[in-house]
Structure formats: C-alpha cells, structure tokens
Amino acid sequence: MFVDKVTITVAAGKGGNGAVAFHREKYVAAGGPDGGDGGRGGSIVLLGDENMSTLMDFRYKRKYTAPNGGDGQGALKSGRDGADLVIRVPLGTVVRDKATGAVIHDMSDRQPFVLARGGRGGWGNKHFATPTRQAPRFAKPGTEGQKREVVLELKLLADVGLVGFPNVGKSTLLAAVSRAHPKIADYHFTTLYPNLGVVWAAEGESFVMADIPGIIEGAAEGAGLGHDFLRHIERCRLLIHVVDASGSEGRDPVEDYKAINEELRQYSLPLADRPQLVAANKTDLAPDGEALARFREYISSLGLPLYEISAATGEGLRALTLAAAAELRKLPPIPVFEEEYVEPEDLPASPEDLTVRRQDADLWSVEGPWLERLLARVNLSDSEGRAYFDRRLREAGVFDRLEDLGVREGDTVALYNWEFEYRR
C-alpha cells in the first residue's frame, strides 16, 4: 500500500533529576554535598532513507517516545543519558507542524535532523554549595523533553512529472522510456499511486520521471485521485503534459490541455508556471485525424513545440527524451521547501510566560515555559550563546521586572539549573 501522508506524535525523553547527597566516609567529617547531575533525555532524530519509498511504516505506529535520562546519585555520579530514538523516513519527506501547517524541515538529504530535543539533566546539590550555604538540601529536577505533533508528507524527488487526464498513456510512456513497470490497463484510474522511473537520455545523463494518477476536472477541489497526488509533482523541475490526440474516447485534446492547466493553476500558481513540454500521444491511432490537426494548430499558436509520439509503438519517444534532458540542463536543481516554523522560544515572551520570585534576601528565581525552552536550546558555555541569552532576557523584560521588585547588585538569580550574579 502506498502511504504518503501521516500524522505522528513524538516526545523526547525527560532529563534525569539531580541528586541530594552528602559525602559519607570514615574519618572524613562534614564531607559536604556530592549529589550528581541527572542525565540528558533522549532526542527524536529523523534520518532520510533512500531505500524507503512510502510512509507505510507509520500507518499503525503513530507515537514515538525517546527514553528518559537517569537520575543522579551520590558520590558525584551522573545519571545515564537517554539514547536518541532515530526514525527513518523516505527522502523527500516534508515535516510540518500539525497545528499551523508550517514547514519544520525538508528531509531531502541524508543529514539527520533533531525533531524533538531531550530535556536537560538537573543539577545535583554539589552545584549549589556556597560559602554561606555549605549544605544545600535541594537539587534541580530535569527538564521535560520536547513534544510535538507533526505531519509527515512525502513529496517525490523527481526531475520530470507526467500530467494529463486518465488513460492518455502516461504509464505506458513511463514504461517505454524507463525500466519502471507500472500497471497498465485500458480503463481509467489504472494508476492508483505514483510511479518513478529512471530515464537514460545519453551517456552519463539521466533523470527521474514521475507518473501520478490522472487528473480530472475539479481535482484542485478534491475530485478524483489527482488531488491526493499533485503534491508529488511539486518538486519536478519540468512537466510533460500528455494529451490523447487521437480523439479515441470522444474527447477534445485542446479542451483537455486547457482543463489540466487550469487545475494546476488552481492547485498551485508556481506549479502552473513550471516549464512544460507538450506530448500528443496515440498518434498511431489517428495519424491524420481532425483532433490531432486542431491540437497541432492550437499549440503552434501558443508558440510551443509539439512532440507527436506513440508510447505504444515508441514513435517520437527519443526526441521527447532528448528534449526533456536539454530542458533540465537549463533548469535549477529540485526545489527544497524552506523552513517556515518558528520555535515558541523565538517568539516574544508575554508577562504570563514568566514568574519572577524572591526566594531569600539575596536569592531570586525566574521560571516559565518560555525560559525553559530557551535554556534547552542555548549553549551557555559559549560566549556567543551567553550574549544571545542575555539579549533575549532583556527583550523579554526579565531585567526590568527584577529591578521593579528590588533586586540589588550582587544578588543571585536562579534560572532553573543555572545561577547568575546580578550585574547592572
């Protein structure tokens, strides 16, 4: 079964909790805190797999959860990091946010992509020892891993896409110019799912051709099968518009040509503007027919070349293949869908997102989901990361709120697992 669109839920692992422990050893008095840190939670990682051609693996398994990090222990023992969960998807899979439909990532290469990051491990009480707080009896819990509901949408990676009404000979054409073996029969909607074939045009030159189910009028509004599979030609650099020029089914090739282009326009304006080659198929059935003559005249009036072919006999296929290869040399690479998704931590924080409290005379805490997500992404051991973090806190009004509440120079500000000395 061909499955090209699924919704899945992923949850990265929670970070392990920090430990509260004190050094216990004979003849060592007041050994002090030695609670270890919690381990990092496992992340959800997507990996493009060229051996997969469908999202069938996700038909029955829709929830993926990475393991949690281990809790810290005494004697400064850190918890075990949770293992990353690697999920393989076909190359060409576009990952979208379920709620907004925005593109998160386009899996068009073999580079792994972290879809959901594991939570940070909590600090053990060893980190919170100070000259005035020598025996801290608290540690920090691990942070939650990211959770996401996403849509996986497969868009085939093909150079050339075949478009046209049902039963115009697209599958026959694909089988004739490549080694693909699509189902071919003399009835409409024989092709129920897209087929791919590699076409060799010349020595060292080849391209991938995609045949999708036939489009009918109203496809852009959901009629027929074409609407479900039009996404598979969105990446195609070139379209070959196949028309039955024999009039064997009583159809007018000129009207068919106009109708298909209108459906493409309604579905996607960029797709309608994609370069096209026009192929008049089944010319062996009526080589001197009235329908072919009128279609030839109409295409000529548009200033377009017409390739008269017979996919069944092979006539004209070589010229069409060479023309497609020549066009592809001039066209840019297969398009990659740009990321549109904006992480919640990249959005401005509202006052409701942050809680600022005075915990002690000189100890303050700042908490909130926005800050927790920001901390999960920023590397505070790097100077540029710290500068970015400082800038985001200022933009969110954290410093202004602290000063309004009376923070003083030298006070300690706790941000989950991190503590900073406040400086104006």
Q: What is the CATH number of the domain that holds 131?
A: 2.70.210.12
- CATH code at 196? 3.40.50.300
Say whether both 139 and 169 belong to one domain: no
In a domain, 336, yes or no: no
Q: Which of 100, 135, 154 is the last residue of a domain?
A: 154
| Spatial separation of the C-alpha atoms in residues 301 and 296, rounded to whole Å | 9
| Spatial separation of the C-alpha atoms in residues 195 and 70, rounded to whole Å | 47
In a domain, 337, yes or no: no
Q: How many domains does the chain have?
A: 3
In a domain, 166, yes or no: yes
Say whether both 3 and 73 belong to one domain: yes
String of DSSP letters for 171-186: HHHHHHHSS------S
Phi-psi region of 19 (alpha: psi -120 to 50; beta: other; left: phi over 0): beta
- CATH code at 350? 3.30.300.350
Q: Is 58 helix (H, G, I), strand (E, B) or coil?
A: helix
Contact predicate 407/401, CB 8 Å: no
| Spatial separation of the C-alpha atoms in residues 396 and 390, rounded to whole Å | 10
Q: Which residues pair with 208 in a beta bridge?
A: 198
Q: Which of 274, 297, 330 is the last residue of a domain?
A: 330
Q: E-assigned strands of 259-408?
A: 276-281, 306-308, 355-360, 363-367
| Sheet order of strands, 363-367 included | 355-360, 363-367, 412-415, 418-421
Nearest one of 291, 231, 222 to 256, comparing CA atoms:
291
Say whether both 260 and 150 belong to one domain: no
361 exposure class (CB count in 10 Å sphere: 0-12, 13-18, 19+): exposed
Say whether both 314 and 229 belong to one domain: yes
Say whether both 185 and 66 belong to one domain: no
In a domain, 340, yes or no: no
Say whether both 407 and 304 belong to one domain: no
In a domain, 230, yes or no: yes
In a domain, 356, yes or no: yes
Token pair 């099968």 is at which residue? Answer: 225
Q: Which of 133, 154, 175 is the last residue of a domain?
A: 154
In a domain, 202, yes or no: yes
Main-chain dihedrals φ then ψ at residue 163, nearest 5 degrees: -125, 155
In a domain, 1, yes or no: yes
Nearest one of 216, 212, 255, 261 to 235, comparing CA atoms:
212
* Global confidence as pTM: 0.74
Say whether both 205 and 304 belong to one domain: yes
Structure tokens at 190: 């024989």
pLDDT tens, per residue, the chain with 424 residues: 578 889 999 999 999 999 989 988 888 777 889 999 999 999 999 999 988 888 988 988 999 999 999 999 999 999 999 999 999 999 999 999 998 899 999 999 899 999 999 988 988 888 878 787 788 887 878 888 889 999 999 988 889 999 988 888 889 999 999 987 777 666 556 666 788 899 998 888 899 999 988 776 665 555 555 567 788 888 899 999 999 988 777 788 999 999 989 888 888 888 889 999 999 998 888 767 788 889 999 999 999 999 999 998 999 999 999 999 999 999 998 888 888 887 766 665 666 678 888 887 888 888 887 887 787 667 676 677 788 888 888 888 888 888 888 888 888 888 877 888 888 7
Nearest one of 303, 412, 401, 300 to 359, comparing CA atoms:
412
| Spatial separation of the C-alpha atoms in residues 424 and 62, rounded to whole Å | 49
Contact predicate 35/19, CB 8 Å: yes
Main-chain dihedrals φ then ψ at residue 15, nearest 5 degrees: -70, 145
Domain extent at residue 10: 1-154
